[in-house]
Amino acid sequence: MRAFSYHRAATPAAAIAAAGSTTAYVAGGTTLIDLVKLDVLRPARLIDVNGAGSAAITARADGGLRVGALVRNSDLARHPLVREKYPVLAEAILSGASPQLRNMATTGGNLMQRTRCTYYRDGISPCNKREPGSGCAAWEGIHRSHAVLGGSEACIATHPSDMCVALAALAATISLQGRAGRRTLPFDAFHLLPGATPEKEHALLPGELITAVTLPAPAKGERSWYLKLRDRESYEFALASAAVVLRLQGRRIASCRIALGGVGTKPWRAHEAEAVLTGAVPAEALFRHAAEAALQSARPRPGNAFKVELARRVLVRVLALLVEGQPSVRQI
């Protein structure tokens, strides 16, 4: 790795004060250190925020849950309130990465996870995300794991996080602290579409620090689930995944929120599918109709066209499972 200087911040304010155009925050380090070793990211200074923020999971008076940015992924997935009230989140976290990585990675860091696109990571291929204007090697290259939703000719890199897909479906809120003070963002506004500027991945202002993620109170009778399809049964990124939060009332689906993973350039909230399902009577044909609506805007490349149908099917599967009952979170 190139040499850099290191500063440990004692508070969020101190971290923000130390931040500049050539600095990077480090918490778990599982993405940052990996990419600095590959020379893809080249911060001149690392600001260690492990002591600068909250690692607490706090129940809110309104029934929601506030998750400090420094809560480790494994702790979040194992918290009794998370497993009970937000099984989609626990299951999503536990289906991602490895136990060691989950012990290191933080909530805030997971939001900042970078794409696994091999061209981005090789440090040398044309990559508009890494070097704006250099081109996109994946477009005509090997793009089997790339996105079918939200891409552009400038970039089709998939967002790799499982946790983020669950948070999108939960309509979480992200708390930020920066030079101008504190603010919150709805989850869906945090990650940006690549468009013509794939190097801009997040709606963060310079120096801004993630301080917490807040989950809304689950509705009474709400169920949720996450299913991840991939080449191997463990320790592999999603080819297609679906997170569904569903509430039935009588015979009908009273409400639902859906997000797709492995197929989008950002965690993909499937509003079109939600519109089809809300108020409708659950049935296989309905699920299929919703899945088609979700993937209607898909623009695959030749090498990843299989993902379109795969994503439809994983969504149908999760809907069918949830209508039967609430599956149990894996215990690993």
Partner 1 sequence: MSPALSPRPPASVIGRRVNRVEGRAKVTGQGRYAADHHPAGLAYALGVGSPIAAGKLLALHTAAAERAPGVIAVLHRGNFPKLTPSPNNFSDGTKVGEVRLPFADDTIFYAGQWIAVVVAESFAQARAAARLIRADYREDPPELSLGTAQWPERSQLSADAPDLTRGDPDRAWREAPVKVEATYTTPVEVHNVLELHAATAAWDQGKLTVEDSTQWVVGARKALAKILDTPARDITIRAPFVGGGFGGKLFVWATPSSPRRRPGNWAGRSSWSWSASRPLRSSATGRPPASASKWARGPTAPWSCSGTTA
Partner 2 sequence: MKGNKVAIKLKINGALRRCVVEPQAVLLDVVREQLELFGTKKGCDHGQCGACTLLVNGRRIVSCLTLAVMHDGAEVTTIEGLEQNGQLHPVQTAFLECDAFQCGGCTSGQIMSAVGLLGEPVGPDDNAVAQAMSGNLCRCGAYQNIVAAVQQARARRG
> Which residues contact partner 2 (rule: CB under 8 A)?
1-6, 8, 26, 28-30, 33-34, 36-38, 46, 48, 50, 74, 78, 97-101, 103-104, 233-235, 330-332
Residue with tokens 């999503």: 92
For 42-103, the DSSP string reads --SEEEE-TTSS---EEE-TTS-EEEETT-BHHHHHH-HHHHHH-HHHHHHHHTSS-HHHHH
Buried/exposed 244-269: b ≥16 CB within 10 Å, e otherwise: bbbbbeeeebebbbbbbbbbbbbbbb
The one of partner 2, partner 1, none whose footprint includes residue 133, by CB under 5 to 8 A per kind, is: none
E runs forming strands in 166-310: 173-178, 181-186, 209-215, 222-229, 240-249, 252-261, 268-269
Residue 133: DSSP 8-state: T
Smallest separation (angstroms) from partner 1 to the CB of 239: 22
- Smaller CB distance to partner 2: residue 121 or 252? 121
By CB under 8 A, tell whether 6 contacts partner 1: no
179 binds partner 1 (CB under 8 A): no
Residue 327 interacts with which of partner 2, partner 1, none, CB < 5 to 8 Å by class: none
285 contacts partner 1 (rule: CB under 8 A): no
Binding track, positions 19-38, relative to partner 1; x by CB under 8 A: ------------------x-
Helical packing angle, 284-294 and 306-324, nearest 10°:
140
Among 59, 124, 275, 332, binds partner 1 (CB under 8 A): 124
Binding partner of residue 104 among partner 1, partner 2, none, CB cut-off 5 to 8 Å per kind: partner 2
3 near partner 1 (CB under 8 A) = yes
The H or E element that residue 319 is part of is helix 306-324
State yes or no: residue 1 binds partner 1 (CB under 8 A): yes
Gap between the Cα atoms of 329 and 189, Å rounded: 28
Which residue's structure tokens are 């603010």?
183
Q: How far is the CB of 99 from partner 2 (least distance, A)?
A: 5
- Is 61 a binding residue for partner 1 by CB under 8 A? The answer is no
Residue 293 CA to residue 295 CA, distance in Å, equals 5
Non-local (6+) Cβ contacts of 329 within 8 A are 77, 83, 87, 90, 91, 94
Q: Does 196 bind partner 1 (CB under 8 A)?
A: no
Strands of the sheet containing 173-178, edge to edge, are: 57-59, 65-68, 209-215, 173-178, 181-186
Nearer to partner 1, 37 or 144 (CB): 37
52 binds, options partner 1, partner 2, none, Cβ within 5 to 8 A by partner type: none
Question: What are the DSSP E strand ranges found in 179-331?
Answer: 181-186, 209-215, 222-229, 240-249, 252-261, 268-269
Least distance CB 328 / partner 2 (angstroms): 10
* Nearest CB to partner 1, comparing residues 36 and 70: 36
Site size toward partner 1 (CB under 8 A) is 6
Only one of the segments 1-9, 20-28, 222-230, 278-286 lies at the binding site for partner 1 (rule: CB under 8 A); that segment is 1-9
Regarding 39 and contact with partner 1 (CB under 8 A), the answer is yes
219 binds, among partner 2, partner 1, none (CB under 5 to 8 A by kind): none
Nearest Cα neighbor of 188 from 257, 132, 240 is 257
Residues in contact with partner 1 by the rule CB under 8 A: 1-3, 37, 39, 124
